[in-house]
Amino acid sequence: MAKQKKAPRPKAQTPKGFRDYFGPEVTERAEMLNTIAGVYHQYGFDALESSGVETVEALGKFLPDVDRPNEGVFAWQDEDDSWMALRYDLTAPLARVYAQHRNDLPLPYRRYAMGPVWRNEKPGPGRYRQFYQCDADTVGAGSVAADAEICAMLADTLEKVGIPRGDYLIRVNNRKVLNGVLECMGLDDDAQRDAVLRTIDKFDKVGEAGVRELLGKGRLDASGAYIDGVGLSDAQAEPVVAFLTSGRLEAAETLANLRAAIGASTVGEEGVAELEQIAELLAAQGYGPDRIIIDPSVVRGLGYYTGPVFEAELTFEILDEKGRKRQFGSVAGGGRYDDLVKRFTGQAVPATGVSIGVDRLLAALREKGRIGGSVQGPVVVTVMDRDRMADYQAMVAELRQAGLRAEVYLGNPKNFGNQLKYADKRESPVAVIEGGDEKDKGVVQIKDLILGAKLAEDASLEEWKDHPSQYEVPRDQMVAKVQEILDLHK
Amino acid sequence: MAKQKKAPRPKAQTPKGFRDYFGPEVTERAEMLNTIAGVYHQYGFDALESSGVETVEALGKFLPDVDRPNEGVFAWQDEDDSWMALRYDLTAPLARVYAQHRNDLPLPYRRYAMGPVWRNEKPGPGRYRQFYQCDADTVGAGSVAADAEICAMLADTLEKVGIPRGDYLIRVNNRKVLNGVLECMGLDDDAQRDAVLRTIDKFDKVGEAGVRELLGKGRLDASGAYIDGVGLSDAQAEPVVAFLTSGRLEAAETLANLRAAIGASTVGEEGVAELEQIAELLAAQGYGPDRIIIDPSVVRGLGYYTGPVFEAELTFEILDEKGRKRQFGSVAGGGRYDDLVKRFTGQAVPATGVSIGVDRLLAALREKGRIGGSVQGPVVVTVMDRDRMADYQAMVAELRQAGLRAEVYLGNPKNFGNQLKYADKRESPVAVIEGGDEKDKGVVQIKDLILGAKLAEDASLEEWKDHPSQYEVPRDQMVAKVQEILDLHK
């Protein structure tokens, strides 16, 4: 608090794109993270918490041609001029941690991590520049058994946090199959390959016919704008369409279709074989196509994936901001990235993992009414006589010793109405009142605020009389009576 | 992952002053935070999580004469040139949050917050630039009942996390008493007042005689260096010494001594009266001087405190790095700060709160052996035949369905010794083995790794034979046998 006397008052505002989380928003997230950590732990993953700050070179975002490496990250210079930045995900820090501590860590290293990450991006509605991720990764396991395990764990996790079977689907694909398709098309132009990948990513939106158009001459989109196509001939486009439409409920059929789509490509065959193994491993553990399926339309944006990729989607419908029905969509994704640790050590270290978008998953659970129910406010002991604060605090101490959530009103006690308004704002179930008369008689008044609110809403005068919502009990029965009212409303 | 091919390899290192936390370091902290949140919740406090990033003007660290506001904080410029910074504590953000959302928040607003904070300071041994705080504050309550409540809650919290009564002491003082003493000394020179405050802060180290010297001409310290004194006469120094030495076990005696020390100072009398009320309120709730005492030697560094200040100290002795006994010291502190919200709104809003130094408290609990016991590693299912991975993953799935922590070995299975070494590194209690012979016979081998390690350490050959640490059981009894071994070692 430096001398601020002459300065104008600071604005009480979060920086653009940041926000505060209150009460249940915080505790519900904490509970969900705790549940997820429990599943990860059971699968043998160990906790890791790396710092929020990394060197820019470790994050790998440094672009030599710009003075300031702020492409997507929040970065600044330390006193010795080295650049530091806030982590933008939990994967880049894991690669750094593994490279730094590899001599002390078990191999394979299964770790989970949860915490905020920061993105220096344009904020938008529902898009914040700080948000939570919750990741699990296995470093040093080249076998696709590791990928299958991550998919199984993801399914277990979703069910454990409250998404029932049938409301989610984990879709698995393999970058190698995609590469095989591109190889078999004879595409050697990088720009054209990228354009094909972007088109594949649009399959869910535009469907088979749309993809055909986009791979060929182009397409008129819904807004009437013309989207240039990739410029392939129909024959050239065919393998992509065959690939995209190879998905079936039965993994065996999907795999046969994929084999046809990749032609003689070696890398493609490797990819299909890996998907086949994953399907077998999951079937052996009882994860059927109602939970995890092979789906060739999954691409995953990140460039660093080298093999299997997966995505968890919530399949139930919600209403979007315009009142239209749509599927809730993706809440988690991941895949195999075998080159991230190599950046540091020069040695390839296979790795695979998943990242759960915690805030989106919370939104989904709230949407379904699975969390966000009533939060129990504290019992409020009101202050009728400010000189007897010690008495009131002793009452609160008694209530707490009985395990109840309770507090004494600490604002200005002069206006009793304000005290009840406060109790209302806190969603207090019960208020305790002890004025001078009660003190003399050795009693307290106990007000059932939940019943009181209900009566105030819709009771006739007779009902009101029949259901008193305030009770006078001897002082030594205060805790028991409060407990009784709380039990009643459970 | 931009093009990095030509660039030298990045260093796999945290930035200077930052560190990673592994396994139990993470989970033990999470458990402790959870326990603390439970106590805060019971006292009626609601959770708040503000973002890690604040505007520099909201943090209040901006110094107009420097180009870059990096005094103690990590700061950078956003694209619109406004300065942002990582929060350095949880109190400054609370003042901003309260000012921003005051129309929606209850009054008084009791909130707790926990999370990392960042300091741009020179790191040292055990001093990191990112660390956890865990705060509870009451905003909008001017009554010292709020301060007393915070002290009581702090005592409850320490006991709840595992510091037994007798091993901690909460010391309470009041800045107003201190101001009263300075007033009664007639000190109007700011520099001299500051020098007196710094001297008071040394009382614990140098004792009464040392303080007398430091207030007067100066003092030869242990290293032989001469420390200049404040330059007061003996008569001038007397009130300070009287104040510092007024602490007694009985609050009433301490208060009487303090009254004598402040002479006719009005603010001093106000401070003593507040301490008296706090002592009464705490006594009424049963918090005696074995838990919370009035202690005039508590100063608390921060300039923004305006009334009661408090500090929680662990009183048991530990050995320092040089093997000397010393008290563990402070793990939490706080006090009343009535001017922080006013920075934003112009209106005074009284507030009081406490901050627990989570990492120090964890260190204390580890020191006392109260946490950091054995962490249960996962049951490891070994891979004898890599083509039967599906079988092994099915075994693991069975173990997990029984609620056990289990995993299949995912490294290269060729060398069986490496698999057992891995199990050892993970502190696995049990390994499960199913080779071709076992498969044919319908059995599995179950290895008790804890007993095995014990035997390997100190058993004679006879004992070794009498206590086999490996069992052959039918495949369908695998889970039961593993469970039996785990129960045995509980």
Enumerate residues 193 to 252 of chain A having a beta carbon within 8 A of any beta carbon in chain B. none
A168-174 and B218-220 beta bridge pairing: unpaired
All residues of chain B having their beta carbon less than 8 Å from the beta carbon of residue A41 are: 405
Distance set, CA B294 to CA B18, B261, B275, B287, B356 (Å): 37, 15, 7, 12, 20
> Average pLDDT of A58-87?
74
- Contacts with B285 from chain A: Cβ below 8 Å: 390, 393-394, 397
- Residues of chain A contacting B65 with CB distance shorter than 8 Å: none
What does R_g of chain B's alpha carbons equal in angstroms? 30
Q: Where does residue A81 rank: exposed (0-12), middle (13-18), buried (19+ CB within 10 A)?
A: exposed
**Which residues from A are below 8 Å from B405, CB to CB?**
41-44
The reported pLDDT for the residue numbered A463 is 67
Record the tokens describing residue A204, joined without a space.
Answer: 């869910």
Cβ separation of A406 and B42 shorter than 8 Å?
yes
pLDDT in tens, chain B (490 residues): 444 455 688 999 999 999 999 999 999 999 999 999 999 999 999 999 999 999 998 987 544 444 555 578 999 988 788 899 999 999 999 999 999 999 999 999 999 999 999 999 888 887 899 999 999 999 999 999 999 999 999 999 999 999 999 999 999 999 999 889 888 888 777 788 888 888 888 888 888 999 999 999 988 887 888 888 888 888 888 888 888 888 888 889 999 999 988 888 999 999 999 999 999 999 988 999 999 999 988 877 656 788 999 999 999 888 777 888 888 889 999 999 988 899 899 998 999 999 999 999 999 999 888 887 666 899 999 999 989 999 999 999 999 999 999 999 999 999 999 999 999 999 999 999 999 999 999 999 999 999 888 877 776 666 666 667 899 999 999 999 999 999 998 8
pLDDT, tens digit (0-9, with 9 covering 90-100), for A240-256: 888 888 888 888 999 99
> Which chain A residue has the Cα nearest residue B394?
A285
In sequence order, what DSSP letters do the residues of A424-477 get, joined into one string?
Answer: HHTT-SEEEE--HHHHHHTEEEEEEHHHHHHHHHH--HHHHHHS-SEEEEEGGG
The alpha carbon dihedral of B171, B175, B180, B182 has a sign of: positive
Contacts of A277 in chain B (CB under 8 A): 389
Partner B, chain A 287-316, Cβ-Cβ below 8 Å: 303-304
- Write phi, then psi, for B260 (nearest 5 degrees): -65, -40
Q: Regarding beta strands B430-433 and B379-381, do their DSSP bridges make them parallel or antiparallel, or are they unpaired?
A: parallel
Q: Which residues pair with A432 in a beta bridge?
A: A381, A446
- Give the Cα separation of A349 and B36 in Å (integer): 40
CB contact under 8 Å between A404 and B21, yes or no, is no
Q: Any binding-site annotation on B300?
A: yes
Residues 6+ apart with CB under 8 A from A336: A147, A175, A305, A306, A307, A308, A309, A350, A351, A352
The reply to whether A429 touches chain B by the CB within 8 Å rule is no
Read off the amino acid at residue B399.
Answer: L
- Bond into B108 cis (ω within 30): yes
B353 CA: distance to closest CA in chain A (Å): 14
Return the pLDDT at A54. Answer: 96
With contacts defined as CB-CB under 8 Å, which chain B residues touch A106?
422, 425-426
Can you tell me the distance from the alpha carbon of B406 to that of B392, in angstroms, rounded to the nearest whole number? 11
Contacts of B300 in chain A (CB under 8 A): none
Interface of A with B in 364-403 (CB under 8 A): 378, 380, 386, 389-391, 393-394, 397, 400, 403
**For the ranges A135-149, A327-341, A411-425, A454-468, which has the lowest average pLDDT?**
A454-468
Taking only Cα atoms into account, the Rg of chain A, rounded to an integer number of angstroms, comes to: 30
pLDDT at B1: 46
For residue B440, give how far its alpha carbon lies from the nearest alpha carbon of chain A (Å): 19
Determine the distance in angstroms separating the CA of B445 from the nearest CA of chain A, rounded to an integer: 20
The whole-number pLDDT of residue B142 equals 93
- Token pair of B434 as six digits: 């199913």
A vs B, Cβ pairs < 8 A, gives: 324
Cross-chain CB nearest to B47 (options A26, A142, A404): A26
- Measuring CA to CA, which residue among B39, B306, B12 is closest to residue B179? B306
Query: Does B135 lie at the interface with A, CB-CB under 8 angstroms?
Result: no
- Tell me what pLDDT residue B303 has: 66
CA atoms of A325 and A319, how far apart (whole Å): 5
**Residue A200: what pLDDT?**
85
Contact criterion met (CB < 8 Å) for B48 and A21: yes
Residues from chain A contacting residue B430 (CB–CB below 8 Å): none
| Residue B129 touches chain A, beta carbons under 8 Å | yes
Q: Give me the domains of chain A, ranges plus CATH numbers.
A: 379-488 (3.40.50.800)
Q: Which residues contact A401 (CB under 8 A, 6 or more apart)?
A: none
Residue B299: predicted pLDDT: 77
CA distances from A66 to A313, A419, B67, B377 (A): 38, 59, 22, 47
For an interface test with A, the pick among B143, B150, B362, B412 (most A C-beta atoms closer than 10 Å) comes out as B143
B169: β partners: B313
User: Which of A68, A130, A143 to mutate against chain B (most B CBs within 10 Å)?
Assistant: A143
Average pLDDT, whole number, for chain A?
Answer: 89
CA atoms within 13 A on the CB side of A212: 9
Give the position of tokens 């093009």.
Answer: B3
Percent of chain A with pLDDT over 70: 93
| Residue appearing with tokens 């006991």 | B159
Q: From CA B328, how far away is CA B322, in angstroms rounded?
A: 14
Q: Is the pLDDT of residue A66 over 50?
A: no
Distance CA B454, CA A446 (A): 61
Rounded to the nearest 5 degrees, what angle is found at the Cα of A332, between the Cα atoms of A287 and A42?
55
- Which residue in this structure is represented by tokens 């014990």? B454
Q: CA–CA separation, B133 vs B112, rounded Å?
A: 11
* B4/A contact by beta carbon, under 8 A: yes
Half-sphere exposure in the Cβ direction for B176 (13 Å, CA) = 21
The per-residue pLDDT for range A178-211, each reduced to its tens digit, is: 889 888 888 777 788 888 888 888 888 888 999 9
Q: Residue A171: its pLDDT value, please?
A: 96
Tokens of A446: 């106990």
Closest chain B C-alpha to A421 CA, distance in angstroms:
9
| CB-closest option in A12, A129, A149 to B58 | A12
Report helix angle B251-262 to B266-284, nearest 10.
170
C-alpha span between B437 and A486 (Å, rounded):
61
- The 3-state DSSP class for residue B331 equals strand
